[in-house]
Copies of this chain bind each other. A is one copy, B any other.
Amino acid sequence: MNRVVLTIMPQGRALKAEPGTGLLENLRAILGEDFESPCGGAGLCGKCQVMIQCGEIWVSALACQTRVDRNMTVLLPDGSLGQEQILRQGAVSEKYALEPTIRKMLLDTVNRSKAGDGYRSQMDWLVDQVGKVGREKECDPGLARQLADLLQSGSAFITAVVYNDQIVSLEPGDTREILFGMAFDIGTTTLVGYLLNLNTGTRIATVSAMNPQRTYGADVISRVNHTNTLPDGLEQLTKAIRGGVERLIDQAAEMAGLRRTDIYELVFVGNTCMNHLFLGIHPAGLGQAPYKPVLRAPVCCLASSLGLTINSAGFVYWLPNVSGFIGSDTIGALLSNPVDQDETARLVVDIGTNGEMAIGVGGQIWACSTSAGPAFEGACIKNGMRAMPGAIDAVQVVGEDINYHIIGSYEPKGLCGSGLVDAVAGFLKTGVIDITGRFQSDNLTSWPETLKERVVPWQGSHAFILALQEGKGEPIMITQKDIRQVQLAKGAIAAGIEIIVKEAGLRLEEIGELYVAGAFGNYLDKHNMCAIGLLPLALENAIIPVGNAAGEGAVLALLSASARHEAFNIAGRVRYIELAGRSDFQDIFVEAMTFPASMSFDLL
């Protein structure tokens, strides 16, 4: 059999490998023992995580669990910059033990008949095994059918799949080792999925993709409009998002060498509109006052009932919504980052296409959301892209030089959200733009030559050339329109923060911690976030990046029934602030679109 080519990035080294050999041993052969695997290749420690290129996207996988079965490009971790920049924490937090809602039990059928149990049916025996007492009030015949068939086939051992202490399925033999689940964050722009081993809590693969609904509109409102305009608009959007999730399941399963049927539960978070669209529930009410959702309760149903092809006994669980604009993604963020457990006020801001923010103190939580647009996710920006290999994710304006950092590559392909924030902060500091956001092209006399050259006319206005792309005609640039997108986005978030802090009866100075969440959260420069007015300067030192907090909440709910229960309780505690209904919101928003003036030249 022909050998396959294994390409290792960012080093760019290629080697030939025997097909079917382990990725870990191949990497060790080149990199030596520096490539860590503390658990000895058992798939438990997660230290050998790498990114593997699958078509146009990158997925994360454990090298020790991956076989080199075809030509493969692997991206090694590079400090904080080596992977697709979606962050992960420990599998189960300090607060929650590993106790998934779905579990397996081994049953010994050989010794099941006991003397004196003449009144017991085979189902009574089965139900006894999960520790229930008394007679079953009602029974679904499907399970009895499975049990009869397995006993008939003479299986000595049966594995029961137990969900919420109910047996939901039976499998021949001992299949306890096979128990996987996925947690999903369904963003308006980005989908992220985590594949976990539910026996160990280990994260095996992380996959992400753009939300395929984007072709029907960039934000929540335009998608709601699509369902109102076209008779099959809802069906299109539902099909698109479920299809996107199906592809992520495929990719994750393939990377981990699993069958789809090895996956028993999918836990979801997302905003209320994504929740409704995914479930096929018409979201018309979200498009007009009083913005009432159809559904707030958590959803639990068979995955097959939604056309998702995991194990036939597999479930879908959605965390609860709070209101039309506060969805389960906010609940997920609050689950992974509790805010109201004591008298320290904590603010969590999740920066996505919708900016969600929640503030908590002493058992009370307030939340609101604003439509920020997808600028910080790299969408609707001329050279915008997600935080993945090739993206410029950090920019520094030092004197007359522009320095930037590219994720896992030497060739820039575009600009992700953190790079955009840095660049705009740099423009403000250097006076390339003024506090209204306008390019100061009329007033270039004081500029260093190298910066002057970068400002060029562009579609009736101006653009700033950030980097050249080798072999391509057009450079990577930031346009006047891009700046306006940033202003709209940061204005929406800043206005939301101002209002929610006021509603909670607090002053900014009273907030002890500010958790910044979102796919790019960890890589943002705290100072630049405050410099452009996205976050309040008063809280610069309180900022704690927490990564994809919503997705982490979904992971917790997948791994721990207690966490899932707590999510339900959190949803009951949240009071939402409806910004659309407020007379002061528009004023505050417009004001917040202006950049702060104070720092402009201090730091040049």
Contacts and interface: CB of A to CB of B under 8 A. Distances in A.
A579 interface: no
A15 interface: no
B292 A141 contact: no
B122 A298 contact: no
A151 B283 CA distance: 11
Contacts of A141: 279-281, 295, 299, 301, 305-306
A120 interface: yes
Nearest to A275: B141
Contacts of A299: 138-141, 144
Contacts of A139: 295, 297-300
Nearest to A283: B148
Copies per assembly = 2
Contacts of A472: none
A122 B285 contact: yes
A243 B283 CA distance: 41
A152 B292 CA distance: 13
A123 interface: yes
A165 B355 CA distance: 40
A298 B123 CA distance: 12
Contacts of A121: 292-297, 321
Given A292-B113, A295-B123, A148 B281 contact: yes
Given A135-B572, A141-B281, A280-B141, A293 B122 contact: yes
Interface string A272-283: 000010011111
A160 to B, nearest CB: 15
A296 B321 CA distance: 40
A294 B118 contact: no
Contacts of A306: 141
Nearest to A148: B282
B284 A137 contact: no
B144 A113 contact: no
A149 interface: yes
Contacts of A217: none
A525 interface: no
Contact of A144 (B140, B295, B568): B295
A292 B136 contact: no
Nearest to A305: B142
A281 B323 contact: no
Contact of A301 (B118, B140, B147): B140
B279 A152 contact: no
A383 B433 CA distance: 104
A601 interface: no
A578 interface: yes
Interface string A288-331: 00101111111111000110000000000000011100000000
A295 B122 contact: yes
Nearest to A280: B145
A25 interface: no
A262 interface: no
B122 A294 contact: yes
Most buried by B among A139, A141, A147: A141
A124 interface: yes
Interface in A350-384: none
A568 B134 CA distance: 13
Contacts of A292: 113, 120-122
A147 B283 CA distance: 11
Contacts of A572: 135
A118 B148 contact: no
Most buried by B among A135, A295, A298, A305: A295
Contact of A118 (B124, B279, B282, B578): B578
A300 B137 CA distance: 9
Nearest to A120: B292
Contacts of A578: 118
Given A118-B323, A152-B284, A297 B123 contact: yes
A300 B139 CA distance: 6
A147 to B, nearest CB: 6
A67 to B, nearest CB: 37
A597 to B, nearest CB: 38
B284 A148 contact: yes
A148 B297 contact: no
A152 B305 CA distance: 23
A120 B323 CA distance: 8
16 contacts: A118-B290, A118-B578, A121-B293, A121-B297, A122-B293, A122-B294, A135-B297, A137-B568, A141-B306, A142-B301, A144-B279, A145-B282, A148-B281, A148-B285, A148-B294, A151-B282
By Cβ-Cβ distance, the 9 closest A-B pairs, closest first, are A148-B282, A136-B297, A139-B297, A141-B279, A121-B296, A138-B300, A144-B295, A148-B294, A122-B294
Given A121-B292, A123-B297, A141-B279, 15 more contacts: A113-B290, A121-B294, A121-B297, A121-B321, A122-B293, A123-B295, A124-B297, A135-B572, A138-B297, A139-B297, A141-B281, A141-B295, A141-B301, A148-B281, A148-B282
